[in-house]
Amino acid sequence: MKYYLYLSKMKIDMLYEQLPAQYMRPADPAANRSDLVELRRNLNEAFNTTDLRNLCWDLGIDYENLSGDNKLDKTRELLDYLDNRSRIADLLVILQKERPKIAWPSSASVNEPSPNTMYKKLQSVLDYIYANESVGTVDSPNKFFAGKMAMRWGPGSGQNDPTQIWQHIAFFGGETPNHTIVALGGSKQHLMGASETTEQNLNGMIVNSTTVQYVMSNFLSEELKPSNFETLLEEPRPPYKEDWLIDALASTVSEMSGPPQQVEFVAKRLLEGQSGTKHVLLGTPLYIALDE
């Protein structure tokens, strides 16, 4: 099963609801009751209260809104909440990554993401984009571009200042064999598996550059807000004329630290230019997944 590093959950959910009828997919039936019982038992044994809070955060669920006064009650309510919305498969994706040694339920109803989980919604949105929009490569991008390459990634900054947009940015960067520098940025809340305790130093990489902060704040501010087809399908801005901004972005990606990981992604093109002999491309991803 594909493991996602980054999935623009809010954007995908909203875009899915606006798809033409032919792209909408029916919901799968609820999970088998015996699978839910096994899930509840394993969750209670393998996850403490803090783990359960982080799990809810990963799923976009407010832990405090789940009824119950203890972990056992919260776990049961979480499973009921997900089952009623056919999202048990979303939970399984995370559990199999966080606790791979546990034999999680393997019935077809929960082991394979169902059509109305976030992952299948993403596929529906991608089907629409590939059918109706221009999708290029990192070396030859169109309005959207897709690729597979080694990238380093982490948060925009380790400083804890929630008033600054830059503090909420997740940043990915790498370079292709054809000397195209690729930067991807989006909301930090869309990183999969990021908890409150690890968010400040994800993957051991931190970007700190006032010039790049300016670029990202301008070109990625919309990624921090709800979206619709009108904004997603707008034409990207023309090649930027301020060479120093392109140079700053190229320099920041070149100086990123931390281990690179092979990833695949689909992104909306935001900014493009030339820095010396290198082509520089900035986009905001719909998803980024490990390419293993």
Determine, yes or no, domain membership for 12.
no
Question: 220 in a domain, yes or no?
Answer: yes
Q: Does the pTM of the predicted model rise above 0.85?
A: no
The answer to whether position 43 is within a domain reads: yes
End-to-end CA distance of the chain: 10
How confident is the prediction along the chain (292 residues), in pLDDT tens digits per residue?
A: 467 888 887 778 778 878 887 776 655 555 577 778 888 888 989 999 999 998 888 887 888 888 888 889 899 888 888 877 777 878 888 888 888 888 887 544 444 444 457 778 888 889 989 988 889 999 999 989 999 999 998 765 544 444 455 566 788 999 999 999 999 987 777 777 554 433 444 443 344 455 555 555 555 555 545 455 555 556 655 544 567 778 888 888 888 877 899 999 999 888 888 888 999 998 888 999 887 6
Q: Are residues 193 and 233 in the same domain?
A: yes
Q: What is the pLDDT of residue 230?
A: 53
| Rounded (5°) CA angle 136-26-232 | 30
262 bridge partner residues: 150
Indicate the pairing of strand 278-290 with strand 180-187.
parallel
Tell me, what's the pLDDT at 291?
78
Do 279 and 141 lie in a common domain? yes
Within a domain: residue 18?
Answer: no
Same domain, 75 and 168: no
Q: In whole angstroms, what is the distance from residue 141 CA to residue 281 CA?
A: 8
Domain count along the chain: 2
Is residue 250 packed enough to be buried (19+ CB in 10 Å), middle (13-18) or exposed (0-12)?
buried
281, part of any domain = yes
Residues 102 and 206 occupy one common structural domain: no
The reply to whether 109 and 131 lie within a common domain is no
| Residue span of the structural domain in which 79 resides | 27-114
Out of 114, 142, 174, pick the residue that ends a domain. 114
| Those residues with Cβ within 8 angstroms of residue 56's Cβ, 6 or more apart along the chain or in another chain | 62, 63, 66, 78
Q: Which of 88, 114, 140 is the last residue of a domain?
A: 114
201: enclosing H helix or E strand: none
pLDDT of residue 96: 83
**Burial class of residue 241 (count of CB atoms within 10 Å of its CB; 0-12, 13-18, 19+):** exposed
Residues 45 and 127 in one domain: no
Using DSSP, state whether 285 is helix, strand or coil.
Answer: strand
One domain for residues 182 and 240: yes
Please indicate, yes or no, if residue 90 is contained in any of the structural domains. Answer: yes
Both 94 and 134 in one domain: the answer is no
Q: Is residue 17 part of a domain?
A: no
Reported as type and span, the H/E element at residue 287 is: strand 278-290
**What per-residue confidence (pLDDT) applies to 8?**
82
Quick one: pLDDT at residue 163?
41
pLDDT value at position 210? 53
- Same domain? For 274 and 194 the reply is yes
Would 235 be classed as within a structural domain? yes
Last residue of a domain, which of 61, 94, 114? 114
Identity of the amino acid at 7: L
Pair 41, 142 in one domain = no
Whether residues 223 and 206 share a domain: the answer is yes
* Per-residue pLDDT at 48: 92
Indicate if 72 and 192 belong to the same structural domain. no
In angstroms, the CA 284 to CA 224 distance is: 11
